[in-house]
Structure 1
Amino acid sequence: MIYYIIYFITGLLAGVVGGLLGTGGCVIMMPVIRFGFHFDPAIAVGTTLTAVVFTAGFGAFQHIKMKNVDKETALLTGYSGILGVIIGSIIFGYIKNHGNLIDLIVGIAFIVVSLRMLYEGLFAKIKQVEQVQKIPGTPLSKTIIGSVIGTLTGIIGLGGGYALVPSYTLFLRSPIKLAIGTSMAAFVWIALVGAIYKIFQGVVNIPAAIALGIGAAIGAIYGAKLVAKFKSNVLKILFGLLFTYVSLKYILIYFGIVI
């Protein structure tokens, strides 16, 4: 029982940090359960993706109520992402018994996280944009984004705030609030299908995923409320440095080096 309380608290803290950074709790949960709780690499990926179903579902509901969701884009990205996550999960099935390879792939993915955090903290300027209800871009571009990120999610268990939000803002020039809300609404279906697939693959600690997911969903509420109390650029620089360390830890394990 004590372990599940610890998982819940871990999810809670991950949700708070994810809410502060706008990345979702998965980028915090995955390295914590991998290195802090010594989960097998494949189990860490599957459990994190399953936990994200809770946070994405709750976040999608909240953002729909706040009218921060472009439903057409969410459907296009979500439907294509479901196909992608199935393909990614099939690929994952071939490597799930190769823990070091999974660590290497996740480590490379975390380099992207760290560079994004450092760039936004050091250089990105917040631009005021007019309130719009639709994300620019063609149906084809949105379908391609969904397919690629769905595939990525199936392999490494990350995809919502980690990949969809920056894709909407950088490639489609979406306002940030609409990007976050739409990514939640699209990703909940990608995460759900991916989680079901990984449960059948036997790489999910279901009780841990539930405890982590509920904790993260609650924590994200408080994280979002705390945003105004901190300088976001300072937070992103600090966590960019932290994620740089995390990425190196993952990558170096592949070469038998522990830091």
Structure 2
Amino acid sequence: MQVYLPIAEMSVDALVILLLGAVVGFLSGLFGVGGGFLMTPLLIFLGVPPAVAVGTQANQLIAASVSGVLAHWRRNNVDVKMGVVMLVGGLVGTTLGVWIFGRLQRLGQIDLTISLTYVLLLGTIGSLMLVESVRALIRRRSPQLARGKLHHHIWLHGLPLKMRFQRSKLYISALLPAGIGAVGGVLVAIMGIGGGFLLVPAMIYLLNMPVALVAGTSLFQIIFVTAVTTLLQASTNQTVDVMLAFLLLVGGVVGAQFGTRAGSKIRGEVARTLLGLIVVSVALRLAWDLVARPEDLFSVITGIPG
């Protein structure tokens, strides 16, 4: 069933978009990462303009994150206080990110910037996740290997403005989670992703949060950051396609529920390995598209960006 996307100015198969939303929602619930790192490239692969894919994807993340958070909330796996501190930083980051997005769009460099950012960031993060996950699997199978400390203290933990997070049993500087949230906010605005693939490892290895609380807390702050991003993108850069967002939203809500249930049955090391493989695969595909010879060597510009 073909539907017309007014902002993207193209027709797409509604069933394909619904399926993509469901798959990304499933991954969101499974890994607690929002799923935007996968949806935005998939939309680009379907021919949706990168700027529209980024602006619209942020809207879909809201529904998928809400669905995932509700499931984690029922299991008491959300540190609300930590989420609020990360949210404060996230709002600052997303405001800055939307401004940068608009500047690049007016310069005509936003499409290339989005693709390059995805290749560099996803390739780096995915590779690091794979290396760490493989090491964790080896340690599990070889108990005789020395296991490092569960909590590693670094200079960042000595920052001022200490705050106690009872749910996570942490006493750390509020600047650290706020800074992590700010980075996530910039990623939401420029890349259309919840930033979970970066926030989740940061929350585990920098904040030393209990793994069981990370996914739910990450999704909790992603809800509000992406909501603000969607409003700013729609009002400032006009890159939110309502029809596309609705189709992604419907599929995402359904998929997230199944993903959350499946996530409770998968060991952490295995889940991180699977996520790392997916992230690296997406980065490689985007890198190939950047260097591969295009089918049409020339294009005609029909309008001048405002």
Distance apart, 1:27 and its partner CA: 2.4
Matched, 1:248 2:257: no
Distance apart, 1:237 and its partner CA: 4.3
Match of residue 167, structure 2, among 133, 137, 154: 133
Distance apart, 1:231 and its partner CA: 6.7
Matched, 1:194 2:229: yes
Residue 85 of structure 1 is matched in structure 2 by 94
Alignment of 1:100-249 (within 5 A): 100-124=112-136, 133-134=167-168, 136=170, 137-200=172-235, 201-227=237-263, 233=269, 237=273, 240-249=276-285
Q: Deviations over 1:185-237 (max 9, x none)?
A: 11111111111111221112222122212212211211222246667656654
The CA RMSD measured in Å over matched residues stands at: 2.7
- 5+ residue gaps, structure 1: none
In structure 2, relative to structure 1, the CA distance for the partners of 1:172 and 1:240 (3 Å cut) is closer
Distance apart, 1:103 and its partner CA: 0.8
Residue 157 of structure 2 is matched in structure 1 by none
Residue 21 of structure 2 is matched in structure 1 by 11
Residue 60 of structure 1 is matched in structure 2 by 69
Contact 2:33/2:194 (8 A) holds in 1 = no
How far apart, in 1, do the equivalents of 2:266 and 2:54 lie? 30
Distance apart, 1:5 and its partner CA: 2.8
How far apart, in 2, do the equivalents of 1:164 and 1:177 lie? 14
Structure with the bigger percentage of helix: 1
Structure with greater Cα Rg: 2
Contact 2:55/2:233 (8 A) holds in 1 = yes
Structure with the bigger percentage of strand: 2
Deviates most, 154-163 or 49-58: 154-163
Residue 37 of structure 2 is matched in structure 1 by 27
Residue 5 of structure 2 is matched in structure 1 by none
Matched, 1:76 2:85: yes
In structure 2, relative to structure 1, the CA distance for the partners of 1:29 and 1:214 (3 Å cut) is same
Distance apart, 1:34 and its partner CA: 1.1
Q: Deviations over 1:31-82 (max 9, x none)?
A: 21111x1111111111211110111122233333332121211111112211
Residue 48 of structure 2 is matched in structure 1 by 39
In structure 2, relative to structure 1, the CA distance for the partners of 1:134 and 1:161 (3 Å cut) is same
For 1:19, what is the secondary structure of its paired residue? helix
Deviates most, 58-67 or 26-35: 58-67
Normalising by structure 2, report the TM-score: 0.74
Runs ≥4 in structure 1, deviation > 6 angstroms?
Answer: none
- 5+ residue gaps, structure 2: 3-12, 141-146, 151-165, 295-306
